Amino acid sequence: MSSESSKDQKDLKAILFPHSWLPEDVQREICAPFPVLTICKPWFMDEGEDEEAANGGIHIVRPPEAMRPPADFLKLLAEYRLWMRQNPGYPYLPTQQDDIATWEIRRSLRQNGDEGRHPLQEEAIPWHLILHLEREVEESRSAANEMLLRAKAGQAPLAEALGEEVPPHGLLDDLSPHQSYPAMEERRVRQVIGAWLGLFGPSIPWDGVLLTMTPEVLSFAAELFEVGPIDPPTREGAWFLRAIHLPRSSPDLRREKDPAVAGLSGKTVILAARE
pLDDT tens-digit profile of 110-149?
Answer: 555 555 556 778 889 989 999 998 998 888 776 655 655 5
Distances (CA, A) of 271 to 18, 103, 153, 215, 274: 11, 35, 29, 7, 10
**Coil, helix or strand at residue 210:** strand
Instruction: Return the bridge partners of 58, or none.
Output: 37
CB contact at 8 A, 41 and 62: yes
Residues in the chain: 275
Q: Can you give the pLDDT at residue 109?
A: 52
Please report the pLDDT score of residue 111 as a whole number: 56
Check pLDDT > 90 for residue 63: yes
Looking only at the bridges linking them, the beta strands covering 239-245 and 234-236 are antiparallel
Residue 5: its pLDDT value, please? 42
Cis preceding linkage at 91, omega within 30: no
8 Å CB contact between 177 and 151: no
Rounded Cα–Cα distance for residues 13 and 210 (Å): 9
Would the pTM count as exceeding 0.95?
A: no
The most confident of the ranges 61-65, 104-108, 184-188 is 61-65
Residue 6 pLDDT level (bands cut at 50, 70, 90) = very low
Nearest to 38 by CA among 55, 139, 235: 55
- At 198-248, the pLDDT tens digits run 999 998 998 999 999 999 999 999 999 999 888 899 998 888 999 999 998
Backbone angles phi, psi at 270, to 5 degrees: -120, 130
163: left (phi > 0), else alpha (psi -120 to 50), else beta? left
Neighbours of 126 (CB within 10 A): 20
